[in-house]
């Protein structure tokens, strides 16, 4: 049985103390007595027991502070969640109203509302709740808006979870719980300070004979502290302890250790790491005896999925997640970091141009298109975000070392070649910086990497063999004719801005069929998949599982996201996350799903504790539990080594079954094309070729399609 949080006991003790009876009558025979056995803290100037009055002084904090919490959270949380989930004009309106209230000084606002509502703890709490609501609104908005921009809300809705439930439970309760705790502690701490000050000054706060630490202090100071110093010291002590505890609860979580890296620069060595071990409290995750990176070189870190390559890179950078620590000696220089998901390295509230100061040479080096500099990070494709993150890293303060985690993820074959050439050129600058990068693609090593560090292979599920295409037949699972897809949401089909992202798409997916969608980065492959799921505005004929997805999400359609962590709630264990998916169909068990994907031993782990390959298998378990007949897979082999990629594709085919269909958007042509019955090639916003990889002679006819297939 799970034990209650200590906060529950604290709240229970405070409530009992607030309801504790105290003597409010006057005692002329006990005026200002010193502490004794009958009165541990003595009596005040009118003969009342100081200790009992201290207990009674909790009443304004419990009832008045509780009222402030109810008002601030009851107003601020729904408005902040609504603004963060919807964005656009709704967010502008809510944030504008919150800002209009926030600019009014809090104390005058409380005094004004006190004149209208009366004095005492409850009216004071109501007034302070109104004054505190804007800060709660802004804090919740920022957290929910960040999740929406990272597509977490879209992933939950696409999975079949109602939007209000997704916002309330997953984005607010699970992922904004720390924000709520900080706001609650801040509101209570500021209410205590304000109520104490107003009660000390006079009738603006809690007036006699009602107990308050402020008016207790005022009476003791007014009557003189000579007869009973405890009557003055005890309220001061209690106010300091309770207020300090509340402020620590509000600010303590924001204090982080900013350990300074030790860097002993050497003439020919940029990075030196010895006896490096990354571990949790339970076990060691990855060990490395020695890593020496000479100046001006490229070092590749290889290994199977789940061996800790990304953790090793984070340990070198000094940015390990909570609960994970590193030991050993690392001498690191000024460095730049490019995350596996490029958006993690970008500020979501600023455009790309606002985050970089790139000249033409650096822009060309990164491969980021100049016409996309004014775009927001959430509007970029996976490949564009990766190149934007690289651009931001290259335009910093001249890093001596660039750490890149899977820098070629989300890039088409030609873009991969361009990026590796750019990184090699980066090491040839006059200051001769170095590059350490994690990859699964051994094809990148020849002519690019100067040294290779290979991490050991852990135990785990083994690939079940090469996946093979099934036998299609029956009525189509999905059909599109003349489809044009826009960037707007399907719930507002008339509000798209600009032209279509992709246009004139004719597409058919039959039962048992695997269909591929290929093209350069940023051409609109992900947008097309979202349109098939009913998550993007579109125009033209579209039918998915016998229904138009623009009229409501069709049952049996599931998206497999490029970043599998998008569909996983980071605040709850994997077992609980999969239980939500199991309730959508009600026919399959979480235990069986975990066994199918080989994650039984990781059932109680958080998504942040899973490797990239494990997160991919967890997302496949979600798809199976939801009873998907049509799976729209966006880069299902991204960030996986070849054996794990084959395993993921085999699992996907097995989970969908012979009567289901799969649509795969991918750059990993060598693995994906042999599975496909038909491949659609997107170029410059339209489909330029459709071919079957099984055709013996010249399956791709368009020059761009032929160049893409040859490069892959």
Report the pLDDT value the prediction gives residue 22, as an integer from 0 to 100. 56
Which of 298-312, 409-423, 622-636 is the least confident region? Answer: 409-423
Report d(CA 195, CA 178) in Å as an integer. Answer: 26
Q: Which residue has the higher pLDDT, 37 or 480?
A: 480
Report d(CA 183, CA 616) in Å as an integer. Answer: 35
Give pLDDT tens digits for 594-651: 988 888 888 888 887 787 778 888 888 888 888 888 999 998 887 676 777 777 788 8
Calculated CA dihedral for residues 539, 384, 87, 72, nearest 10 degrees: 150
Where in the chain do CATH 3.40.50.300 domains reside?
269-454, 478-556+629-711
Report the pLDDT value the prediction gives residue 471, as an integer from 0 to 100. 56
On the 0-12 / 13-18 / 19+ scale of CB atoms within 10 A, 467 is buried
Q: Which residue has the higher pLDDT, 272 or 37?
A: 272
Q: How much is the average pLDDT of 466-472?
A: 56
DSSP codes, 539-595: EEEEEETTB-GGGSPPTTEEEE-SSGGGGS-TTS-HHHHHHHHHHHHSSS-HHHHHH
Predicted confidence band of residue 10 (pLDDT cuts 50, 70, 90): low
Q: How much is the average pLDDT of 348-357?
A: 80
Q: How much is the average pLDDT of 20-33?
A: 57
Has residue 31 got a pLDDT over 80? Answer: no
Report the pLDDT value the prediction gives residue 698, as an integer from 0 to 100. 55
Give pLDDT tens digits for 117-129: 767 788 888 888 8
Task: Give the rounded percent of residues in the chain with a pLDDT score beyond 90.
Answer: 4
Report the pLDDT value the prediction gives residue 80, as an integer from 0 to 100. 93
Q: Which of 68, 12, 23, 86 is nearest to 49 (CA)?
A: 23
Report the pLDDT value the prediction gives residue 647, as an integer from 0 to 100. 77
Write the CA distances from 546 to 493, 543, 691, integer angstroms: 20, 6, 25
Assigned CATH class of 6-254: mainly alpha
Give pLDDT tens digits for 660-694: 899 999 888 878 888 888 889 898 888 888 888 87
Give pLDDT tens digits for 102-157: 877 777 777 777 677 767 788 888 888 888 999 999 989 988 887 887 777 888 88
Has residue 18 got a pLDDT over 90? Answer: no
Has residue 449 got a pLDDT over 90? Answer: no
Report the pLDDT value the prediction gives residue 127, as an integer from 0 to 100. 84
Identify the three-state secondary structure at position 327: strand
Neighbouring residues of 441: CB distance < 8 A, sequence distance ≥ 6:
408, 416
Report the pLDDT value the prediction gives residue 470, as an integer from 0 to 100. 55
Q: How much is the average pLDDT of 571-598?
A: 85
Assigned CATH class of 269-454: alpha beta
CA 299 to chain centre: 30
What rounded mean pLDDT belongs to the chain?
77
On the 0-12 / 13-18 / 19+ scale of CB atoms within 10 A, 387 is buried
Report the pLDDT value the prediction gives residue 265, as an integer from 0 to 100. 39
Q: In the structure encoding, which two tokens stand for residue 509, read together?
A: 């997916």
Write the CA distances from 235 to 46, 265, 634, integer angstroms: 16, 56, 62
Report the pLDDT value the prediction gives residue 82, as an integer from 0 to 100. 92
Give pLDDT tens digits for 158-206: 887 888 888 888 888 887 877 888 888 888 888 888 888 888 877 667 7
Q: Are strands 538-544 and 478-485 parallel, antiparallel or unpaired?
A: antiparallel
Report the pLDDT value the prediction gives residue 133, as an integer from 0 to 100. 92
Has residue 209 got a pLDDT over 90? Answer: no
Give pLDDT tens digits for 477-495: 899 988 988 876 555 445 5
| Contact (Cβ atoms closer than 8 angstroms) between residue 655 and residue 627 | no
Which of 205-214, 394-403, 463-472 is the least confident region? Answer: 463-472
Report the pLDDT value the prediction gives residue 38, as an integer from 0 to 100. 65
Query: What is the enclosing helix (H) or strand (E) of 452?
Result: strand 451-454
Which of 267-276, 503-512, 613-622 is the least confident region? Answer: 267-276
Give pLDDT tens digits for 531-575: 898 888 888 889 898 888 888 777 788 888 888 888 888 888 899
Report the pLDDT value the prediction gives residue 664, as an integer from 0 to 100. 92
Report d(CA 699, CA 692) in Å as an integer. Answer: 6
Predicted confidence band of residue 458 (pLDDT cuts 50, 70, 90): very low
Domain 478-556+629-711 has CATH 3.40.50.450: no
The verdict on pTM exceeding 0.75 is no
Which of 433-437, 565-569, 705-709 is the least confident region? Answer: 705-709
Report the pLDDT value the prediction gives residue 309, as an integer from 0 to 100. 82
Write the CA distances from 194 to 64, 76, 204, 468, 691, integer angstroms: 11, 21, 10, 70, 73
């Amino acid at each position: 049985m799970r034990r209650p949080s200590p906060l529950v006991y604290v709240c229970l003790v405070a409530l009992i103390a607030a309801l504790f009876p105290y003597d409010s009558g006057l005692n002329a025979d006990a005026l200002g007595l010193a502490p004794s056995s009958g009165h541990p803290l003595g009596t005040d100037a009118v003969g009342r027991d100081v200790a009992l009055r201290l207990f009674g002084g909790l009443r304004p904090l419990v009832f008045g502070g509780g009222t402030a919490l109810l008002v601030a959270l009851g107003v601020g949380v729904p408005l902040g969640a609504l603004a963060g989930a919807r964005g656009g004009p709704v967010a502008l309106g809510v944030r504008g109203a919150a800002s209009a209230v926030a600019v009014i000084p809090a104390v005058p606002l409380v005094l004004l509302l006190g004149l209208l509502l009366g004095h005492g703890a409850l009216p004071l709490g109501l007034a302070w709740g109104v004054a505190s609501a804007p800060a709660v609104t802004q804090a919740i908005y920022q957290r929910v808006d960040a999740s929406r921009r990272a597509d977490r809300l879209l992933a939950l809705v696409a999975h079949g979870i109602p939007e209000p439930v997704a916002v309330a439970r997953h984005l607010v309760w699970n992922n904004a719980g720390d924000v709520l705790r900080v706001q609650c502690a801040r509101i209570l701490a500021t209410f205590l300070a304000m109520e104490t000050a107003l009660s000390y000054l006079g009738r603006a706060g809690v007036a006699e004979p009602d107990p308050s630490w402020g008016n207790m202090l005022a009476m003791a100071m007014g009557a003189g502290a000579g007869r009973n110093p405890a009557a003055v010291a005890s309220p001061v002590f209690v106010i300091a302890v309770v207020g300090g505890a509340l402020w620590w609860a509000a600010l303590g979580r924001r204090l982080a250790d900013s350990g300074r890296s030790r860097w002993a620069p050497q003439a020919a060595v940029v990075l030196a790491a010895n006896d490096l071990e990354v571990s949790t409290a339970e076990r060691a995750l990855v060990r490395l005896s020695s890593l020496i990176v000479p100046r001006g070189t490229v070092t590749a870190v290889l290994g199977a999925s789940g061996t800790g390559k990304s953790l090793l890179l984070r340990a070198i950078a000094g940015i390990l997640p909570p609960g994970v620590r590193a030991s050993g000696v690392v001498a690191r220089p000024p460095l730049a970091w490019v995350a596996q998901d490029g958006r993690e390295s970008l500020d979501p509230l600023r455009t790309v141009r606002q985050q970089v100061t790139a000249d033409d040479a650096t822009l060309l080096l990164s491969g980021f298109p100049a016409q996309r500099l004014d775009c927001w990070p959430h509007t970029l494709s996976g490949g564009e975000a990766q190149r934007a993150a690289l651009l931001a890293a290259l335009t910093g303060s001249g890093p001596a070392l660039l750490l890149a985690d899977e820098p070629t993820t989300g890039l088409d074959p030609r873009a991969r070649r361009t990026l590796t050439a750019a990184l090699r050129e980066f090491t040839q600058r006059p200051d001769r910086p170095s590059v350490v990068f994690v990859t699964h693609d051994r094809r990148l090593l020849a002519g690019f990497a100067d040294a290779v560090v290979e991490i050991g292979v852990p135990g785990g599920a083994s690939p079940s063999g090469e996946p093979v295409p099934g036998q299609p037949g029956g009525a189509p699972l999905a059909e599109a004719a003349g489809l044009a897809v826009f960037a707007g949401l399907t719930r507002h089909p008339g509000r798209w801005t600009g032209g279509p992202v992709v246009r004139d798409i004719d597409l058919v997916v039959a039962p048992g069929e695997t269909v591929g969608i290929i093209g350069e980065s940023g051409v609109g492959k992900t947008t097309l998949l979202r349109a098939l799921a009913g998550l993007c505005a579109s125009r033209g004929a579209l039918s998915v599982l016998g229904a138009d997805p623009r009229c409501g999400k069709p049952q049996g359609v599931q998206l497999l996201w490029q970043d599998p962590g998008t569909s996983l709630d980071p605040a709850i264990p994997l077992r609980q996350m999969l239980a939500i998916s199991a309730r959508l169909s009600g026919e399959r068990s979480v235990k069986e799903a975990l066994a199918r994907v080989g994650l039984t031993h990781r059932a109680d782990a958080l998504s942040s504790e899973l490797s990239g390959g494990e997160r991919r298998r967890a997302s496949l378990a979600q798809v199976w539990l939801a009873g998907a007949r049509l799976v729209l897979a966006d880069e299902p082999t991204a960030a996986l080594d070849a054996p794990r990629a084959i395993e993921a594709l085999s699992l996907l085919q097995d989970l969908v079954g012979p009567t289901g269909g799969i649509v795969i958007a991918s750059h990993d042509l060598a693995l994906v094309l042999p599975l496909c019955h038909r491949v659609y090639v997107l170029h410059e916003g339209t489909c330029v070729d459709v071919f079957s990889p099984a055709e013996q002679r010249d399956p791709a006819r368009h020059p761009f399609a032929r160049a893409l297939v040859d490069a892959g």
